[in-house]
Chains A and B, each alone.
Chain A
């Protein structure tokens, strides 16, 4: 029997069985054993490979100390010298997904190691690494673990043995965005005619050159008289009142907040600050109006340029936030603004 290939596993604090949100700040640590999903994963390798160890890292720690985390992981990987690195599955957990994604990207780019991970298609971590690593498509919650592990294991076996992967839909991974050249049974013209017939009959057809899809939002009509308009302010720059009373996440936001600013001339520091991960918040914390310019809006209201600034200020964190959450937040905030008769909203990002 040939020697087993070696896998190094990565999980977050929760799947590493250290703890929940309260342990999300834990720095990475290495355990020379199988922890959490690594056990089920090794079983799915059917004896062809073994998990030599597990790295556990808190989601917040990774996202807030990416460089340190990656340095630790790289060092560990070099020592353990695995054939494949496996991370997750992260399902639809944004911070976990970002960690798996960044890790996968770093391993592939810097150490030229094959990496297999698993995520829900809308996890923001997918776009970080899908062209560098193999991301198995999973369901949006940990209920999909039993399906995800065998698919990840099967792909890991192939990568370890240098076997070429089949089509994404067949192997269960999210397309890397690679255009693979191959032969079709039907010649091109016949495929064109088949596609034409399907289109003419209103049947489903699949283009062979899919285009990137952009979510196009129809802009609202211009405000006719700004001097009578109520204008609201909304940011995804993570500006929150001191103490972050609603606990808005620093990345992969699960919620948004609204705060009464009717009595303020602007967003004062240190009364407000940015809880946003992923950018240097020093300047935002020095003056939060740099991210959400409430001061200028209030001035405009005083000068009569606009009618009024809406009493409530809306905020969330943009980084790593899934498209579905962002859409949900937008609809919820939009409904409130509409209900209140707000005429316009200024949206700022970072």
Chain B
């Protein structure tokens, strides 16, 4: 399978007539996009805005982030199974508006959090302060139930990314990245001496606001599924996860899954990267036992020497992570785990329960309870009342001058457990 990602570098975004890229500036047709989104009769109103790196802008509450793209050659246009007919992702050529993102905003329930600060201290903690963001604040028609409300906003974000992505059709990429990987036997024949490595990507799949979709299939119902790494990089996986701001995998992060990219970089050099197992995180213990057994079995069928396991969320998924780790290690398959930790405000309460003696190689993506101080914004996109939610739960978090103290919990992508960001914890 061969996939070309053509990056068209975007340095700025503006609204204008038509949607196109010129000299690195992306112009978005505001009316056109609004009308396109309103084709969905559940959409009552659309507020579009732009947030640029360095601007004193706060976006809150963020639901999802999506990278605008367009398929140039091959199957898998759009988000197959969701916004487009099912077709195979991961081959041909895809153009990416690199440096641009669609950010969906708006609460489905009152307690949502998820902040992106485009500047200053807050900006350091989120990877999405570096992208030029088109924000999408959607009002839905009255009387929608929460499931439908969530779906409406999820689809609008994906459709907006498709609409804007069309601007990449006529543009010449600044850089073309080529990913090529044959069948498992073919690759193993090519690299007979390289260790076989699998990536087990855990996904929150537990119900409303806690879902992940693969080709449109709600992954709550699946057994762990083997995927070609290209598929995820090409839009096969989308996020329906509206909580866990700090450690959820946004759709953008699926499209640019950093574990896949970093394993790819070693493919054929140090390792034989065999694929991705998408592992659902179930609520029931039997679901967890089954999924971890099944993941081990897939690894054994493929003869994997090692597995990188990334978690999504915090709480009950920690059990899945450790089950997979224990089962693989006991079967002689080496693991590296990626997870965040909850060490309390002062970092002094290390999570004993987060560990098992088999977990000898763990990457920590930071303490979710670490407190960050965010200066007042000049402009808030979304719902300013949500700022109180961020600060909610402890006194004195919202100071009189508008300075906000919140835990990393609330910052989008800050402790990304696919290791998308640079935050970590160290023993001090």
Residues of A whose CB lies within 8 Å of any CB of B are 131, 165, 167-168, 175-193, 195-197, 199-200, 205, 207-212
Contact = CB atoms under 8 A, between A and B. Distances in A.
B357 A187 contact: no
Contacts of B408: 181
Nearest to A166: B428
A182 B426 contact: yes
B339 A209 contact: yes
B56 interface: no
A178 B419 contact: no
Contact of B308 (A180, A196, A210): A196
Contacts of B418: 188-189
Most buried by A among B270, B355, B361: B361
Interface string B250-280: 0000000011011101100011000000000
B210 interface: no
Interface string B354-389: 111101111111110010000000000000000000
B33 interface: no
Interface string B31-62: 00000000000000000000000000000000
Interface residues of B, number: 55
Contacts of B423: 181-184, 188
Which 4 A-B pairs rank lowest in CB-CB distance, beginning with the nearest? Answer: A188-B419, A189-B419, A179-B343, A189-B258
Nearest to A171: B428
A192 B424 CA distance: 12
Given A178-B428, A181-B424, A211-B357, 14 more contacts: A177-B348, A179-B343, A179-B350, A179-B426, A179-B427, A179-B428, A180-B427, A184-B424, A185-B422, A187-B258, A195-B363, A196-B336, A200-B305, A208-B424
Interface string B388-428: 00000000000000000000100000001111111111111
Interface in B262-316: 262-263, 265-266, 270-271, 305-306, 308, 310
Contacts of B310: 189, 192
Most buried by A among B261, B419, B428: B428
A44 B343 CA distance: 35
B424 A200 contact: no
A193 B424 contact: no
A209 B306 contact: no
Given A179-B425, A179-B427, A187-B258, A209 B341 contact: yes
A176 B347 CA distance: 10
13 contacts: A179-B343, A179-B347, A180-B347, A180-B428, A187-B258, A187-B419, A188-B363, A190-B419, A191-B363, A192-B310, A192-B363, A195-B361, A208-B424
B213 to A, nearest CB: 22
Contacts of A196: 197, 271, 306, 308, 334, 336, 361
Contact of B424 (A177, A188, A211): A188
Given A207-B361, A211-B355, A193 B195 contact: no
